[in-house]
């Protein structure tokens, strides 16, 4: 077993509406995932204070409304031959934040950290979820995003000025306090950044809209939290060096 993984995106404020949610659910289906449980029905989990996690079965119209308002979360299900796996989906409209949030998360029970044959289903699911995350970013014009695992983030947690910033988009022209295993920057944000990635051996991929996806991860089935901490320290040194004296 590995640690929990999350795929998060900050979207422009006001993106989460019923029409967008319908488009994203259709997009999800093209990746072999579905909100419909294997036995039928759609899970809903209450997000309201005092009722967090309470379960009910949702109709399609309720699902769309719940995700557009952030009032309920749901699952996406795979249809692999080996087993059916569930991906948790939460949303949060912007409000005072000024940006909307979409999160896909995978429980540690479905994850692996040792590069054995048993890790192959997880590697494939990680690839699918990362590609879906990038597709959602492109579809919605996302501002910023992260793909990270809990154990790696814990290695640097105490060093971060505010670890609860999460996927809060950094100011234009500023690097974030940390890079995740995979980090997404919209085109405007990336274009204004100083060049610091050469020292990290990062793979930078550009989308058709010129957004940038900075990849530090080589194998999700063999994640090394110690390497993540080392890369973070090298990254912070590079950022400090790039600042005007």
**CA-to-CA distance for 108 and 166, rounded, in angstroms?**
19
pTM for the whole structure:
0.94
Interhelix angle for 60-69 vs 18-29, to 10°?
110
Distance CA 21, CA 68 (A): 6
pLDDT in single tens digits along all 245 residues of the chain: 567 899 999 999 999 999 999 999 999 999 999 999 888 899 999 998 888 889 999 999 999 999 999 999 999 998 754 556 789 999 999 876 899 999 999 974 565 666 777 778 888 899 999 999 999 999 999 999 999 999 999 999 999 999 999 999 999 999 999 999 999 999 999 999 999 998 898 999 999 999 999 999 988 988 899 999 999 999 999 999 887 76
């Amino acid at each position: 077993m590995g640690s929990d993984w999350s795929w998060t995106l900050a979207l422009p404020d006001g993106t989460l509406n019923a029409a967008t949610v319908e488009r994203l659910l259709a997009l999800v289906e093209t990746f072999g995932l579905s909100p419909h449980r294997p036995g039928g029905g759609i899970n809903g989990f209450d997000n309201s204070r005092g009722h967090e996690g309470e379960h009910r079965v949702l109709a399609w119209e309720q699902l769309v409304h719940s995700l557009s308002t952030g009032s309920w979360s749901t699952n996406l299900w795979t249809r692999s031959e080996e087993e059916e796996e569930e991906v948790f989906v939460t949303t949060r409209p912007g409000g005072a934040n000024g940006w909307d949030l979409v999160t896909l998360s995978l429980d540690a029970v479905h994850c692996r950290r040792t590069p054995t044959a048993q890790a192959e289903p997880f590697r494939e699911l990680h690839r699918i979820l990362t590609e879906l995350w990038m597709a959602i970013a492109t579809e919605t014009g996302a501002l910023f995003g992260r793909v990270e695992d809990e154990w790696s983030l814990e290695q640097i947690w105490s060093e971060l000025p505010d670890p609860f910033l999460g996927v809060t988009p950094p100011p234009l022209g500023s690097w974030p306090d940390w890079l995740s295993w995979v980090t997404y920057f919209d085109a405007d944000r990336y274009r204004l950044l100083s060049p610091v990635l050469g020292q990290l051996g990062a793979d930078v991929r550009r989308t058709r809209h010129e957004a940038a996806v900075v990849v530090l991860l080589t194998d999700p089935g063999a994640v090394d939290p110690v390497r993540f901490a080392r890369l973070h320290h090298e990254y912070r040194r590079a950022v400090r060096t790039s600042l005007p004296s």
